[in-house]
Structure 1
Amino acid sequence: MRLVSGGVRVRRAAEPSEPESEETTESPHHEHTHQEHNHPEHPHEHEHTHTEHHPGHDYDHMKEKFMNELTHLPIPTWAVAAIVVVVLVLVGCFIFCVLKKCLDSQLIVGILQAQDLAAMDMGGTSDPYVKVFLLPDKKKKYETKVQRKNLCPVFNETFFFKIPYAELGGKTLVLQVFDFDRFSKHDMIGDIKIPMNSVDLGQPIHQWRDLESSEKEEEKLGDVCISLRYVPTAGKLTVNIMEAKNLKKMDVGGLSDPYVKIVLQQNGKRIKKKKTTVKKNTLNPYFNESFSFEVPFEQIQK
């Protein structure tokens, strides 16, 4: 059993570079030259002096005019100062949010395909899907779509985990392959655990990995025999609880008082529940009880 996870990589935003300092060139100083008054022979003849126009004069004039207008505004000066402070704070928050967004890192996991999965259904096939999450927190879990009756499924799905690059080394990426079952608990086909500190995250990883078997030795709790029947035209599901064998001893005397509870769920929400009668002092109870549920055909497919 093999699973390929492609495009596992970390995206780190480049650190903002320092802005290049702009060289400022001082504007040449305009010296005002004053021509001396020469006293010619004729006292009434004087040369006219011409001064160059200074651009700074216009700026000083506009500044003086603006300050004069500001003092005559109907709102007090402290209100103007408060507005300026609020604008500066808003600009500061905007810059902070943009930088934080740019500096966020992402772990990108691509689930491509699997091959030679174990057959979990009676027909010799499986309905596989993959769960993806990070240990140890398990804060966010993703699931691929179910590939019906396929032992070599192709998924081609991508998932994103937002996590700081500095924290990634302490995480473990887990890929769990399950067999979907409509009426019972989904069976795990196998899983893959990839410690993030054991791989080079500077480059994308594209590789096949063998699934580890999920078979574990569990305590034997016994067996129960049931039968199911569904009539699409009537929208009726019938569950028959036949019997149970070799149940676990729960009482001090080495016996149990077993009963069976049946719960009908849809999308994880409990719709109806029923239970059998209690069988006293036995580890091999015989029930032979039937229960019916009204389930429209459209819902039974979900």
Structure 2
Amino acid sequence: MVFGKKKAQWSPEKSLRDGPEQTKRLSNLLKLRSEHDQAVAKTGWDDYQRQLHNNQMLKGLFKKLDPTVMKPIGDVKGEVQLSFKYDFNNDMLLVKVIKCRELANKDIRAKMSNFFVKLELLPDPLNQGEKRTQISRGTNCPRYDEIFGFCIPEHGLGDSKLIVQVCEHSLGGNDDIRGEVIICLNTFTFRSEPTYTAWYSLNMETDLSISGNLDISIAFQPPRTLLITVHGANDLAPRDEGQTADPFVKVAVSGCDKIYQTQVIKDSLNPVWSETFEFQIHEEEFEDKFVIFHVIDEDKKSTNDSLGQCVIELKDLNPEFGVHGSFPLADLRNSDKLRAKTYQSRIAQEFRESLMAHSVARAPGCLFKNHRGGKVVSVTCRKAGAKGKIRIVDGIPIY
């Protein structure tokens, strides 16, 4: 005879009673299953399959429109390899353009393109002008191995920049800039390291004509009120030479919903606003947040023009004294701050909701109707600064 505890029999009612979380999950699963069956029964199997196809198409398009990266995805990509050396005997900077890789065509239908590289020194007091490599034909990974020289004294390296642009040659004469790198020469110490060789990722073209300063102040009122005042701007650079501007300022804080905008000041390159905006932020959040100021020229006849941005990091803010000053404007489209995921997360959510609404409504019709042959669909989102293209071949999306 064996003595021991009597083995308890399993009871489904007891199991569910002892696991409320399990019960909740099972209930949700049954609910989703019921909604799925109702959707199929209501719309019909063919319509249900078409809706799945629409969702798949939009998911692929969303990946290309991902707003967590500000620069146009699929439009600017690739890298250029450069080598730098300084000739102390002749006061000359030597730049070797070695090669490029994974460049993007302007026309997605073209498999390969004809690329060349342009180099320009700024400032250029000797008017040496831009220098170009030969055109490399029929490849998206061209190799050049060409060396160029720029006359510049050693002490002039600290204030100089080298503009490197990868261009796509066009038979019509309108060459397209496919990406750009701006290299500050003060990062090199040729006395201790004679040669520098590195890969540089291409960015969007930077507008170096932007100038001027923005006068702002930031104050903090505990426990969670951040007051940002835009006082004015001075010496703005108009987009059209010899003309004036109608500027206004957009103010945003990374990770916050609100984006404020000042009034538009007509016909002024030295506008005065004195407008204050309020954000709800705890002091503990300052470490990971920053304020973005964007000066814009209003143009009611066409698209607005950017007059420059500046970024103030809140981690440097003294809550007791705040900050007040005049900050230089620049083209910061390629700044890591403007690409930060915290700043873009709200837009990403809007993308998902918008694309799902388009999928349900099957709009625009040109995207969802049955296509014969091939068709390219391009989508642009100005708010996120993103672009995307997909090709539909006989009704099948190719990403």
Relative to the length of structure 1, the TM-score reads 0.40
- Answer with 1 or 2: which has the greater Rg: 1
More helix, by proportion: 2
